Amino acid sequence: MSLQDILSKHVVQAVKAIYKQDLPSVEFQATRKEFDGDITVVIFPMLRVVKGNPVQIGEVIGEYLLEHAEAVVGFNVIKGFLNVEISDNYYLHFFNRVSTDPDYGFVTAKPEDKAVMVEYSSPNTNKPLHLGHVRNNLLGYSVAEILKASGKKVYKTQIINDRGIHICKSMIAWKLFGNGETPESTGLKGDKLVGNYYVKFDQEYKKEIKNLISEGQTEEEAKKNAPILKAAQEMLIKWEAGDKETVALWETMNQWVYKGFDVTYKNLGVDFDKLYYESETYLLGKEFVTEGLKTGVFFKKEDGSVWCDLTDEGLDEKIVLRSDGTAVYMTQDIGTAIQRVKDYPDVGGMVYTVGNEQEYHFKVLFLIIKKLGFEWAKNLFHLSYGMVDLPSGKMKSREGTVVDADDLIEEMATTAGDISEELGKLDGYTDAEKQELYKAIGLGALKYYILKVDPKKRILFDPKESIDFQGNTGPFIQYTYARIQSILRKAEVDVNAKLLADNLILDQKEKELIKQIQLFEEVIQNAADNHSPALIANYTYDLVKEFNSFYQNVSILGADTDLEIQFRVQLSKVVANIIKNAFGLLGIQVPERM
């Protein structure tokens, strides 16, 4: 039971015993620095139930807590705020409980609980992953790990967009200009090679439009009549008809891309439990449209197209089947969601990590699935996130102005290396160890910079600003972890021994650090409820700031008694363990030395 739960129980009992009233809830806040106390009970909200002077009410409740709550050793009342002092023993007993628990704060999933499926990445197979995909992957992976830590069973998945006109654009450009080149013959990653042909298509398409306009066509006519576009459209028709040569080229080029993606995912440190492919799911959902027509969820227009009327829900009418009987994206998404629950019957909800430009699409999708009668529809969530911008401006894939994910990862490691060399703290490292460390620092900087921001907010990403060993950055937190490991290596105490310290008097800095440690369980649950890695990131920074204040003001290895040394070393170890576990939820490594 948390300190707030313990105090809530006693405050409610006090109001019942003294004022004969039922208090629905108790409001707490951190005690302001200028006042004595460890936690503050806010009296003002109680005035709806208890009539009287807030200072007097605070005094009466304070006396009750002093008499009935074992953890309370003192109090003071400032206006309508009851500042409560908590005994050192309460903090020490809590600390003893968590000091030998490597998984403190994590909750294990129960076998009978429903699972959550988290979808992220979901790229097109016509280009390599870029900075936008990086934010998507980091968010999705981190939210999956946080949900897991909060006690949920989680499946990680993606749907790979491996069909459609955009794929055929890369294919036709390779066929026309590729001269049979392959990833092996060029030394390029497969996704980069295919991406180059997507850019090549756009270049040739623009040239042809220009030529057609010079021959007298309007811009609109030229855009429709450009031969390379018509060739791509014909290729799509052949693919859908199952033409052997077209399908064989499609399979070959997609395999190049998949291999390239796998390298990037490995470098980013993300993984998946199940892959879905649009080429296998684009026909799903049509049977549910037929079913929905019978039950009145959908209606048919005169041209034969099928729609869902969502005007009563404040939206509009949404097409789910074209007049020629072909499916739209919405149909496919309905079918894929239902298929996933068939594949994993224990799934009771899904999280879709997709940019905020698709918010309307997911509102519609979730409503339609609900109307179709699926119970789990109430547990569908769109993890909507903002764009990532660079100081140089917006990225465009077809023009080749994107920031390639692999290049970014490499650049981050290089920048981390340059800064680390300048700081000159790597004596005794081999070159291989240095490269591993640079990668850990560079990736840690990238991930932390992106994940510390609320997902809904747009990010201006500055690689150099992210790799700073001071302030709210990944490297600053990694460096604090490495500093603690250095303390632990020097310490000559058993860091796993139970602390027999009932008579230990805590320094205020020690107490503040334990209070911060206490918040970790609640932060994980809040981060899971809000699908927000930013809560984990910023909690970890606050913990590190608190530790550094403790480190600068209290001697650890030079403490006066063996008991104090043992306690402070163990306290440092618990902080390091939380940093490691919290950063693990963000997908960030923590180096043992820096």
DSSP per residue over 522-572, as a string? HHHHHHHHHT-HHHHHHHHHHHHHHHHHHHHHS-STT-SSHHHHHHHHHHH
Does the structural domain 3-86 have CATH classification 3.30.1360.70?
A: yes
pLDDT 10s digits, 327-382: 899 999 999 999 999 999 999 999 999 999 999 999 999 999 999 999 999 999 99
Given this chain, do its domains 3-86 and 410-585 carry the same CATH topology? Answer: no
Measured in degrees and rounded to the nearest 5, phi and psi for residue 283 equal -95, -10
On the question of pLDDT at 394 being above 70, the answer is no
What value does the mean pLDDT take over residues 125-154? 96
Provide mean pLDDT across the span 442-465.
Answer: 92
- Tell me the per-residue pLDDT of 102-116, one tens digit each, with 9 for 90 and over: 999 999 999 999 999
What residue spans define the domains of the chain? 3-86, 410-585
CA-to-CA distance for 146 and 136, rounded, in angstroms?
Answer: 15
Residue 62 buriedness (CB in 10 A; 0-12 / 13-18 / 19+): buried
Contacting residues for 85 by C-beta, under 8 A, at least 6 apart: 36, 37, 38, 72, 73, 74, 75
pLDDT tens sequence across 313-334 = 999 999 999 998 888 999 999 9
- Provide, rounded to the nearest whole percent, the portion of the chain with pLDDT above 70: 97
Mean pLDDT score, 129-134: 91
Cα 65 vs. chain centroid, distance in angstroms? 41
Q: Compute the distance between CA of residue 170 and CA of residue 366 in angstroms, rounded to an integer.
A: 33
pLDDT of residue 398: 47
Residue 41, H or E segment:
strand 39-42
**What is the architecture, at CATH level 2, of domain 410-585?**
Orthogonal Bundle (1.10)
Question: Sorting pLDDT into bands at 50, 70 and 90, what band is 500?
Answer: low
Residues 6 or more apart in contact with residue 325 via CB below 8 angstroms: 304
pLDDT at 261 over 50: yes
pLDDT tens-digit map of 11-36: 999 999 999 999 999 999 999 989 99
| pLDDT for residue 397 | 44
Instruction: Give the tens place of pLDDT for each residue, 479-497.
Output: 999 999 999 999 988 877 7
pTM comes to 0.92
Going by pLDDT thresholds of 50, 70 and 90, the confidence category of residue 401 is: low
**Would you state the pLDDT for residue 393?**
52
Instruction: Give 391's pLDDT tier (boundaries 50, 70, 90).
Output: confident
Distance CA 522, CA 535 (A): 10
Average pLDDT (527-554) is: 97
Q: 43-85 pLDDT, tens per residue?
A: 999 999 999 999 999 999 999 999 999 999 999 999 999 999 9
| Core vs surface per residue 127-142: b (16+ CB within 10 A) or e | bbbbbbbbbbbbbbbb
Question: For residue 39, what are the β-bridge partners?
Answer: 84
Q: Average the pLDDT over 390-405 and give the result.
A: 61
Of 18, 83, 21, 9, give the one whose Cα is nearest residue 48. 21
pLDDT at 395: 44
The yes-or-no verdict on residue 501 having pLDDT over 80 is: no
Worst-scoring range by mean pLDDT, 248-252, 346-350, 472-476, 500-504? Answer: 500-504
Q: How confident is the model at residue 282 (pLDDT cuts 50, 70, 90)?
A: confident
pLDDT of residue 493: 83
